[in-house]
Amino acid sequence: MPNTSCTQERKEKGSEKVAKKEKEPEVKQLAPGFKEGEKVIPFAEVQKHDSIDKGIWVTYRDGVYDITKFVQNHPGGLERILKAAGGQIDPFWAMYAQHNVASVKDILGEYRIGHLSQDEYANLPPPFDPYQTDPKRDPELVVQAAKPFNAETPLRVLAEQEYLTPNDKFFVRNHLPVPSGSLIDPSTYALEIVKGEDEDPVKLTLKDLQDETRFKRKKICAIIQCSGNRREDQNSVAQVEGLTWYTGAISCAEWEGVALKDVLDSVGVPSTLGMESELEGEDDQLHLQMEGMDRPKVGEWRDTKGFYGASIPLAWAQDPRRDVLLAFKMNGEPIPADHGAPLRCVVPGVAGARSVKWLSKLIVAEEESQSHWQQNDYKAFCSSITWDTADFSSLPAIQDMPVNSAISSPPAKSLVELTSDGCTW
């Protein structure tokens, strides 16, 4: 008689081995580019490859990649990618949302050389979360992206509000982590203004801007709308790039602050009103560049060049009819962190991307802001142009927004009951 217990034991051990073999690739496939039979590489070995001379190795999740041949072609520049050399790129990819698409992961997969052991990967410290200090949000906001946080005002609120959108229901469009701590402390905040290349910068504290003996207070009711609002309507015709906004990337608030024109006048910026460039739209018109305090950060490192920035023609900033405001209050309260505390430039009637939050610097310049978001985003191409063929340098940045409307009640795809006479809902 065969020893059934031994046979069963061998079967169980065999099945364990099969199970392990089947389970192991699942872990390795957390990261792109997995290859059967690839070698296990200790993390200590990865850490040795942290320079061009030694080679640039990085890990993403459990995968190991030799990106030495790629770093010179990195769209974000050599300096940024070297910050991850010999370590994890996970926190950097969490920081720069443009990495979270299949095409970018496919490129990384081409450089895969192995993987970490399951035990070592499980015991690595969790990657730094650059969004860990973001503020809490109202749970009713319609979230379209968690990191960076982007959320719509609920359609119900837009339909029911009398005119102003409550601060906690105001739509949120963030590109980077929300600045926190000393960066947005009203007691230490200062706005830097650069009038020209050869001019010394002028600094104004929040207290200076709120001093009514220096600047007259002003209130305006202004709508801010993301230029991508209602993108889902476009997606119903043909797929387009960007967040899937429905109808709620738009809100209205009463903004209180001081006229940007008054502030520029106070520091001696010459007026451009009436100049030919303002009337005719000449290319040689001056621009007002704006820099925000929202910058990429990983641990103690902050990207000094990756800040959010935008610009408008200087003539717009100096035109009293445009009501451009340096706002420190929103609906009667200090501006919340998500909406630009302690100071936001509000540019009525223009794409929301130009109403720079967490304003840190104003620069009078002969060229537009060189920020990624002014040069390589927020531009509208005709339908025959794809993401791969788009030449962003060929088009101006979106400024003015078209008038449009949306039906708020009944909401899209809802069921309604008709009465027999067909006259009431």
Q: What is the pLDDT along the chain (425 residues), one digit of tens a residue?
A: 444 444 444 344 444 444 444 444 444 557 999 999 999 999 999 999 999 999 999 999 999 999 999 999 898 888 889 999 999 999 999 888 778 888 899 999 999 999 999 999 999 988 889 999 999 999 999 999 999 999 999 999 999 888 999 999 999 999 999 999 999 999 999 999 999 878 899 999 999 999 999 999 999 999 999 999 999 988 888 888 888 999 999 999 999 999 999 999 999 999 887 654 444 444 568 999 999 999 988 887 888 888 999 999 999 999 999 999 999 999 999 999 999 999 999 999 999 999 999 999 999 999 999 998 899 888 888 888 887 788 888 889 999 988 888 888 887 788 888 777 766 55
Of residues 216, 246, 215, 241, the one with CA closest to residue 229: 246
Residues linked to residue 39 through DSSP beta bridges, in sequence order: 114
CA distance 239 to 117: 40
Q: Is 173 annotated as catalytic? A: yes
Q: Confirm if 260 and 324 have CB atoms less than 8 A apart.
A: yes
Catalytic residue chosen out of the listed positions 61, 80, 173, 287: 173
CATH class of 142-394: alpha beta
In this structure, the number of other CB atoms found within 10 A of the CB of residue 3 comes to 9
pLDDT confidence of residue 423 = 65
In sequence order, what DSSP letters do the residues of 146-192 get, joined into one string?
Answer: TTTTEEEPPHHHHHH-SSSPPGGGS-EE-SSPPP-GGGG-TTT-EEE
Q: Are strands 325-330 and 309-313 parallel, antiparallel or unpaired?
A: unpaired
Spans of all domains in the chain:
23-123, 142-394
pLDDT confidence of residue 291 = 98
Which CATH architecture is the domain 23-123 placed in? Roll (3.10)
Return phi, psi of residue 226, to 5°: -70, 140
Q: Is 10 annotated as catalytic? A: no
Q: Is 99 annotated as catalytic? A: yes
pLDDT confidence of residue 320 = 96
Q: What SS3 class is residue 191?
A: strand
Say which amino acid occupies 146: A
Catalytic residue chosen out of the listed positions 112, 121, 226, 344: 226
CA distance 418 to 254: 39
List Cβ neighbours of 203 (8 Å cut-off, separation of 6 or more). 190, 191, 192, 193
Q: Which two tokens stand for residue 326?
A: 């340096």
Q: Is 378 annotated as catalytic? A: yes
